[in-house]
Amino acid sequence: WFGGIFMLKLDNNTGLRDYSYTYSTTTNVSDQYFGIRISGGYGCTGEGAYIVYDPQTDYYYLYVSYCGLEATTNFAGYHIRLFRSRNITGPYTDAAGNTAICTSSGANQENKGIKLFGNYDLSSLNGVSSSELSANGYMSPGHNSAFIDDNGQRYLVYHTRFNTGNEHHQVRVHQQFLNQDGWPVTAVYEYLGSQISPTGYSTSEIVGTYDFVNHGKSATTTYTGMLPTYSVSLNADGTISGAFSGTWSATPNTYFCTMIIGGVTYKGIFFKQYDESASHKNTMTFSLIGNNNQAIWGSKTSDAPG
């Protein structure tokens, strides 16, 4: 958690370290005992690392969880960050080109890795049974794995806490989809059997008012409250209005979308999926990653612009 994430080769026969491979002790690169350093170090946070290879993009994707696991204490803010590399041993970099490796104790981890999601709430979660822990939102989601099934569908598996004032936790599974730049974006809602339309969605299905969450870049290891949920409208003329202004576009005959908000370009997908309300309403959502390492989510609340 403090010293960084390292990789060393194992013996296929024993499952133990392969001692025919040796490593030099080179600052910020490798260690003769631990192996090759691929992320973190110098007291920076980072644990629960997981790497998945995607044959479609020929990238290795590195997931690392930052900050503290708790939801109610001053050691919180747990979340997942994403990097990728052409080689399994790295170097791993994020959407802004930053390396996953910390080279000093003063490294600003806000600027390292795509933050997949933080503490969020959506209106569709409210009003469900009080026994459902997510009724007031999710907190401290992290420590994930990921996989691609035999049909090529991608999934993210992780555990999460909730906005309930305690440390209860459960496992969640979300679908993922590659965006135009080959980054896996994570579906807004847990997997309930929805399948994305490979030919995309009509303008009438997309236009409307949405809950909007920008998951930001915060990497503080302190008590972390809920992210704000805003209201934005995607209008038929390709503009975004409401709490934020900008433009949106959908790539014809695909589920890809692009949004420009505050001068930042975000790329991702539209996905009509079952939400997590009691009725599991089939709801239009969007999930995008910006070149600023920030992920944005939207969940449609009304067919009419706000």
In this prediction, residue 62 carries a pLDDT of 98
Mean pLDDT of 275-296: 96
Amino acid at 29: V
Kindly state the DSSP code that residue 301 receives in the 8-state scheme: E
Tens digit of each residue's pLDDT (9 = 90 or more) over 175-189: 999 999 999 999 999
1 pLDDT band, cuts 50/70/90, is: confident
Whole-number Å distance between alpha carbons of 121 and 42: 33
| Separation CA 295–CA 266 (nearest Å) | 8
Question: Could you tell me the two tokens for 72?
Answer: 């109610």
Per-residue pLDDT band at 290 (split at 50, 70, 90): very high
Q: Note the pLDDT of residue 305.
A: 84
Q: What is the pLDDT of residue 90?
A: 97
Confidence of residue 87 (pLDDT cuts 50, 70, 90): very high
Average pLDDT score over residue span 283-298? 98
What is the mean pLDDT of the segment spanning 192-207?
97
Q: For the ranges 37-51, 69-83, 101-115, 117-131, which has the lowest average pLDDT?
A: 117-131
Q: What is the pLDDT of residue 7?
A: 97
Q: Which residues are 288's β-sheet partners?
A: 268, 296
Asked whether residue 130 carries a pLDDT value surpassing 90, the answer given is no
Q: Which pLDDT band holds residue 276 (cuts at 50, 70, 90)?
A: very high
Question: Would you say 8 and 35 are in contact if contact means Cβ atoms under 8 Å apart?
Answer: yes
Worst-scoring range by mean pLDDT, 43-57, 101-115, 129-143, 268-282?
A: 129-143
pLDDT exceeds 90 at position 306: no
Ordered alpha helix ranges (H), the chain = 203-206
pLDDT at 131 over 80: no
**Mean pLDDT to the nearest integer, 216-241:** 97
Side-chain-facing half-sphere of 99: CA atoms under 13 Å: 17
pLDDT over 90 percentage in the chain = 95
pTM attached to this predicted model: 0.96
